[in-house]
Structure 1
Amino acid sequence: MQDATITFDCPGCEKTISFSVADIGTVQECAHCGGYVDVPGGSDSVFPGDTDYDRQVREYDSQTAENARQMEVAKRQQDETARQLVETARQLEVERELQAAHRHLNEKWSNTIEKVDAVVAKWNSLAEKMQSHIAKLEEDRSE
């Protein structure tokens, strides 16, 4: 009974796929397209020569296989979540570094602005002195 298979067409890619009868009534992945498919039939399906014991074994095998599949899906989801957390942590670190660089550039910009303001103030002071000297020279010349 364990070697028996069920064959049908995938509704997604329409290619023929086969699964063990233990997978009847479960959701499996198509080997061709990776889509999820419902394996037709169920634990109450009747096969020639079936006994109650055969149906119970098939139901148990089906439930065990479905549990294993769900555990695998959960494991993949956990792995993906862990990957996303690592990526988020990396992005946060990059963001912190960018913020630190931004603060540093702002400090340098502020220092540069202060120096430019000091140069402009000195320039204005020199311009006033020159105007004063020019005015004095013009006054001396006119005398």
Structure 2
Amino acid sequence: MTISPRNGLAGCVLVLGALCTSGTATAGADDGPPLHQVTYTVSTDHPLGVGIYYRDVDPPTWADYSHDPYRYSPRDDIHLEPGAPWVHQAMLADPGRWAMVTVTAAGPPTEVATTLRCQMSVDGVEVDHAEGPRGALCSMRNW
């Protein structure tokens, strides 16, 4: 096969056109920062009623969060059983700033010593874990 200057120019135009259109197909004006998969896991060693707060979305600004933190931090009131952890996945743009899960025992202390645990991973990598007799907080930042 011989390539003439005309065929070479036409081929270059086709390749450049394909490159230009493929770049615009994936990058739009509405694309935000990349999202990270945050996995929250809460467990216990004895059956217990608990309240779990977790960050499900990135607040637009710190002021928005401060004005109404519960808008961005849903609460699940559940009964935890050993061997059956509560697991929730969220997609966050800035997990270093916003990712957080906290678990608190519901009701008065019981006669049975219980340990509540939380664990948090971002994109499959554990970033924090904690435990306590009445509650635990997992976060990448200090609250």
Structure having the higher strand fraction is 2
> Whose RCO is larger (CA < 8 A, sep 6+)?
2
Q: Max radius of gyration: which structure?
A: 1
More helix by share: 1
Give me the TM-score of the superposition, normalised by structure 2: 0.27
